[in-house]
Amino acid sequence: MNELLLKFPRSMASLLDILHGIQDADPQHHLSDEALRAVAEYLDVPPSEVVSTATFYTMYSRAPRGRHIVRLCQSPPCQLLGSETLAEVLAESLGVGIGETTADGAFTLETTSCLGACAEAPAMMVDDKVYGNLTKEKARSVIADVRRSDAAR
């Protein structure tokens, strides 16, 4: 943790970047109480300031999540082109509801606002990769591909 923190300037202006860095490095993609305390200590600010930032932005998670984060866009262009049906398909395919993590800890299913891929709506993101022009079949196939590549490791 300390090694990671030292990569960032000791300034509140770095707080968002620090939280991103910690969350990305965490195997469960979340911000633990312990991590937030360490950040507050590093920046020499009250822990409440760090906690309020970490809870204000939806891009941060205080709860542990899966190894892969599936984010389905719910903004109007994607909604108009069927993202609600895709949410059902993904929920069924993963066996979890929105905001939940699979029992094996592999996937967390979330919704998000625009991913910047409206020209290819409906879209979703799995980890850092955006998948557009989604159909039910394509959504299932993306999940199956990620599962296969996990199993091959």
Of 65 and 71, nearer to ligand FES (C-beta) is 71
Residues at the contact surface with ligand FES, assessed by CB under 6 A: 73, 75, 77-78, 114-115, 117-118, 121, 123
| Nearest distance from C-beta of residue 117 to ligand FES, angstroms | 4
Of 121 and 146, nearer to ligand FES (C-beta) is 121
Write the CB contacts of 136 (distance below 8 Å, at least 6 apart in sequence): 85, 86, 89
Distances 110 to 14, 50, 97 between C-alpha atoms, Å: 26, 23, 9
| Nearest distance from C-beta of residue 111 to ligand FES, angstroms | 10
Of 54 and 125, nearer to ligand FES (C-beta) is 125
| Nearest distance from C-beta of residue 115 to ligand FES, angstroms | 4
